[in-house]
């Protein structure tokens, strides 16, 4: 009996910095997500440590990932978060 041709599964959805920034809209963070630069550390864009923690918790819940916590959390960028999420879901 011949083998069925291999059909790749659906491609994983790539999470972007914009998708992460859009989470801010539903959070108690007083910042317009459209103003965030994807490669600039979050702490340099008006987010304090509590805002960043709130965002990281939302990212973990929304995208079903664990974000390792470090002392460098405040230097994270949106692109770094997106890269981490995408690497977990490959």
Q: Give domain limits for the chain.
A: 17-88
Mean pLDDT, rounded, for 50-75: 86
Q: What local confidence, expressed as pLDDT, does residue 3 receive?
A: 65
Q: Which of 64, 52, 63 is nearest to 27 (CA)?
A: 52
Look at residue 83 and give its three-state secondary structure: helix
Average pLDDT, the chain: 86
Q: Is CATH 1.10.1200.10 correct for 17-88?
A: yes
Q: Which pLDDT band, with edges at 50, 70 and 90, does 22 fall under?
A: very high
Reading the block at residue 16, the tokens are: 């972007």
CA distance 24 to 33: 6
Q: What angle do CA 64, 24, 77 make, to 5 degrees?
A: 75
Rounded distance between C-alpha atoms, residue 23 and residue 19, angstroms: 7
Rounded distance, CA 55 to CA 77, Å?
Answer: 12
């Amino acid at each position: 009996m011949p083998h069925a041709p291999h059909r790749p599964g659906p491609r994983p959805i790539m999470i972007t910095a914009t998708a992460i920034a859009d989470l801010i809209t539903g959070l108690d963070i007083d910042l317009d997500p459209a103003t965030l630069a994807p490669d600039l550390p979050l702490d340099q864009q008006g987010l304090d440590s509590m805002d960043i923690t709130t965002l990281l918790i939302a990212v973990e819940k929304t995208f079903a990932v664990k974000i390792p916590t470090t002392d460098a959390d405040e230097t994270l960028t949106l692109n770094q978060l997106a890269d981490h999420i995408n690497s977990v879901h490959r």
